[in-house]
Structure 1
Amino acid sequence: MINSGRRFYLKAAAATALYLNWPSFALAQTGSFGLTDLVGRSIVLTQKPQRFVVANYIANFLFVGGAESVNHIVGITADGWQSTRYAEYVRLTQAFPQLKNIPSIGGYHDDILNTEKILALKPDVVILGQTQYVQNARRLSLLEKAGIAVVVLDYHAMKLENHVKSTQLLGKLLDRESVAKEQISRYSEIIQTIQTRIVRADAVAKQVPVYVECGNLGIGAYGNSYNKSVLWGGILDRLQANNIAADMQAPYASLSREFVLAKNPGIIFIAGSIWQNAAENDQMRMGLMVSKSEALQRLSEFIKRPLWDRLQAVKNNRVYGVDHGSLRSMLDYSFSLFMAKVIYPGLFDDFDPEAEIQAFYKRYLPEVDSSGTFTLKP
């Protein structure tokens, strides 16, 4: 009997062969339609949009829209993209060189948007995240007065309903509703399976203190951890895990060494990517372009931090790596799956999170070289 994780991998691999037979990306020129975005705003478009400014969630836009959707992007938040998500930048621009020539309308990792540039580009739609909308609400009203639709998505909160609705919106805007539906189906299936199984999980496993740290600052400084409302913290909340930062007031912030030692986590996840900054020599690296040997070597240095030999996670060899760069997308269900496998040993042995990630890329964005290390066990 083929297990469910392996079954999807085989189905997705077979489906890749059908990719070229999908309907080509062609948006109808007429016909108005309405939609409601992630902050509850009603938006009416008089025709299918042809010109997009993608101020956030470029990977999701491409996953749903496919390769041809690049030709409909007229603006992106490219300032700091290369330094913040180096591997994503390299792999996407290798696959789609025209991305380098698209005008930048703001910062990849901040909420600063240049509304004057956006107006000059004359898009039909601007796609952005919730914090971008909050920080730019007044200026964005100018775009709407100019007839430009502003659509807010959310992939940050790690709520199933937000991922689903955001992907439905992309499917509608890009005329790729069948693709969006397919991604939603797999995401929902995995999350529901996780939630069903952890009901019967050992209660002791739910009490093990879990610590997640973003490893961008290297081993000498503690990077951000996450409360229960966002990113890794949202995933841990979904898994009913005992996140030591769950009740932190800020959505994300660094925990002190003393706090982490006092909480004595039994499981540690170090989130990695490739950040081009002063700490790049010893930062945690995971994701696209990162070999397993490099990821293991860097993780081993975090484990050697002063006094970490006292921690139960280190004593029991339960320190793991995860890819920070692949969060906020429809393939991040694979990280919920990986973390569930770690936290609840034996409950999810029939799934392979790495295979899920590779199958997803091959199905939805085969032009991109997806080689790398996304989840890591010592």
Structure 2
Amino acid sequence: MRKKFLLAFSLSFFVSLNWAAAAGFDITDIEGRQIHFDKQPKTFIVANYIANFLMVGGKDNLSKVTALTKDGWEDTRYGEYQVFTRSFPILKELPSIGGYHDDILNAERILSLHPDVLLIGRTQYTENNQRIKTFEKAGIKVVVLDYHAMTTENHTKSTEILGKLLGREEIAQAQNKTYKEALDHVFNIIDKLPPEQKGAKTYMETASKGVARYGNSYNKDVLWGSILKNLQAANLAENSPQPYLPLDKEFVISQNPKFIFLGGSIWRNKSEGDQMRMGFTVPEEQAQERLEKFTHRPGWDKLDAVKNNRVYAVDHGSLRNMADYTFTQYIAKQLYPEAFKDIDPVKNLHDYYAAYLPELKYDGTFMIHLSKTK
């Protein structure tokens, strides 16, 4: 009897140990930091990448979010703010713990809310080093994600991490499969093209300052600049010493780009009247009208891109999430039209939101070719 009891106790103890081990898990974040979780986290502060959180987690996991960075969200991404808060009203009610478009974090508020997990981006991690140590000492798990570098590795790794944290690993795997296969297809085709078809001079500008002032361009390591590098285009800002900065207008004209892409959004600033508008809530007619005005900048009538009607606009706000592979497809389709004539990036973007964020009241203009020039 005693032996049976001891055997039963041993089995029970062994099972409970295994169960405890199975409940816990480790992740390695984008900064290479290994973080252990004894159990699935229940509360999150999302200091970056709320769209990715929702795409992986779905609307039900939004109940786990206790705060996010909202300061300046409406001003810097007005259309996105309107659509997301209309579709998910709780986003308006959640407290803000910092800037949506900068690296400022409200340490006091984060500590008072004491989430299980604080999700941040790489620059937030760099700029808040001491605060992060304080959060970790308080028992808050700080996890670094990255969707800014526009690399397949960081996008898919960040999504895999979200899948583990939210108990949605199958969804994360499906998104990663779509992302990787789509981009591998594009890059493999370009690799096989003759050298003379590659390296077209391309000017990319986030046109937030309107027609009179040149907005930021991006070097090879970030956002649109990284996309152009991956597509083997000759980005005018590729070797800029800073990740983003406006290029000198005389330099742009002297380089005579063959393609021009303008990034648009709705920025609430002094240039609202003629900034490039794209993205959620923006009608295509308005986007076309504004894009056409940029072609009348001094000296642009002499540019090959304008003369040959190779002027395009894309939504700047749609980068930094798992649907942004469609923008790589779109730019590839313009640079290499014959190679990618069968790809429909606009439909792919629509289908992605329908699959992974069906509650989002989706409307707007995201990728356009200038319909005519005067």
- TM, length-normalised to structure 2: 0.92
- Once the two structures are superposed, the pairs formed by residues 361-376 of structure 1 within 5 Å of their partners are 361-376=353-368
Q: Which residue of the other structure, out of 140, 150, 159, is the alignment partner of 1:167?
A: 159
Q: Deviations over 1:123-155 (max 9, x none)?
A: 000001000000001111111111110000000
Residue of structure 2 in register with 1:318 after alignment: 310
Question: Which structure has the greater CA radius of gyration?
Answer: 2
Residue of structure 2 in register with 1:348 after alignment: 340
User: Identity across aligned pairs (percent)?
Assistant: 52
Shift of 1:201: 2.1
* CA-based RMSD: 1.1
- Once the two structures are superposed, the pairs formed by residues 94-133 of structure 1 within 5 Å of their partners are 94-133=86-125
Shift of 1:306: 1.0
- Once the two structures are superposed, the pairs formed by residues 166-185 of structure 1 within 5 Å of their partners are 166-185=158-177
Q: Which residue of the other structure, out of 293, 303, 320, is the alignment partner of 2:295?
A: 303
Looking at structure 2, the residues matched to 271 and 83 of structure 1 have their Cα atoms a distance apart, in angstroms, of 17
SS at match of 1:185: helix
Q: Give the number of the structure with larger relative contact order, counting CA–CA contacts within 8 Å between residues 6 or more apart.
A: 1
Q: Which residue of the other structure, out of 183, 186, 190, is the alignment partner of 1:194?
A: 186
SS at match of 2:23: coil
Verify the 8 A CA contact 1:82 1:90 in the aligned structure 2: yes
Looking at structure 1, the residues matched to 329 and 85 of structure 2 have their Cα atoms a distance apart, in angstroms, of 29
Q: Which amino acid aligns with 1:287?
A: G
Verify the 8 A CA contact 2:199 2:232 in the aligned structure 1: no
Task: Answer yes or no: is 1:68 the counterpart of 2:60.
Answer: yes
Q: Which residue of the other structure, out of 22, 26, 42, is the alignment partner of 1:34?
A: 26
Looking at structure 1, the residues matched to 86 and 72 of structure 2 have their Cα atoms a distance apart, in angstroms, of 17
Q: Which residue of the other structure, out of 364, 369, 373, is the alignment partner of 1:377?
A: 369
Shift of 1:204: 2.7
Task: Answer yes or no: is 1:334 the counterpart of 2:326.
Answer: yes
Q: Which amino acid aligns with 1:333?
A: Y
Residue of structure 1 in register with 2:74 after alignment: 82
Residue of structure 2 in register with 1:228 after alignment: 220
Verify the 8 A CA contact 1:83 1:276 in the aligned structure 2: yes
- Once the two structures are superposed, the pairs formed by residues 255-266 of structure 1 within 5 Å of their partners are 255-266=247-258
- Once the two structures are superposed, the pairs formed by residues 284-295 of structure 1 within 5 Å of their partners are 284-295=276-287
Shift of 1:200: 2.4
Shift of 1:348: 0.7
Verify the 8 A CA contact 2:227 2:328 in the aligned structure 1: yes
Task: Answer yes or no: is 1:91 the counterpart of 2:97.
Answer: no
Looking at structure 1, the residues matched to 67 and 197 of structure 2 have their Cα atoms a distance apart, in angstroms, of 46
Aligned length: 350
Q: Which amino acid aligns with 1:336?
A: T
Verify the 8 A CA contact 1:227 1:245 in the aligned structure 2: yes
Q: Which amino acid aligns with 2:164?
A: K
Q: Deviations over 1:290-343 (max 9, x none)?
A: 111111101000111111001110010001000000000000000000000011
Verify the 8 A CA contact 2:78 2:266 in the aligned structure 1: yes
SS at match of 2:349: helix
Q: Which residue of the other structure, out of 269, 275, 282, is the alignment partner of 1:277?
A: 269
Looking at structure 2, the residues matched to 372 and 206 of structure 1 have their Cα atoms a distance apart, in angstroms, of 32
Shift of 1:120: 0.5
Looking at structure 2, the residues matched to 291 and 90 of structure 1 have their Cα atoms a distance apart, in angstroms, of 14
Looking at structure 1, the residues matched to 82 and 63 of structure 2 have their Cα atoms a distance apart, in angstroms, of 18
Task: Answer yes or no: is 1:204 the counterpart of 2:167.
Answer: no
Verify the 8 A CA contact 1:320 1:377 in the aligned structure 2: yes
Looking at structure 2, the residues matched to 283 and 201 of structure 1 have their Cα atoms a distance apart, in angstroms, of 36
Shift of 1:207: 2.5
Looking at structure 1, the residues matched to 49 and 197 of structure 2 have their Cα atoms a distance apart, in angstroms, of 34
Looking at structure 1, the residues matched to 176 and 23 of structure 2 have their Cα atoms a distance apart, in angstroms, of 25
Q: Deviations over 1:144-185 (max 9, x none)?
A: 111110000000011110001000000111111111111111
Task: Answer yes or no: is 1:152 the counterpart of 2:144.
Answer: yes
Residue of structure 1 in register with 2:240 after alignment: 248
SS at match of 2:128: helix
Q: Deviations over 1:221-270 (max 9, x none)?
A: 00000000000000011111111110000000000101101111000000
Shift of 1:202: 3.8
SS at match of 1:199: helix
Looking at structure 2, the residues matched to 272 and 353 of structure 1 have their Cα atoms a distance apart, in angstroms, of 17
Task: Answer yes or no: is 1:43 the counterpart of 2:35.
Answer: yes
Looking at structure 2, the residues matched to 104 and 224 of structure 1 have their Cα atoms a distance apart, in angstroms, of 27
Verify the 8 A CA contact 1:183 1:330 in the aligned structure 2: yes
Q: Deviations over 1:5-48 (max 9, x none)?
A: xxxxxxxxxxxxxxxxxxxxxxx9x9221100000001011211
Q: What 5-or-longer segments of structure 2 have no aligned partner?
A: 1-19
- TM, length-normalised to structure 1: 0.91
Q: Which amino acid aligns with 1:142?
A: T
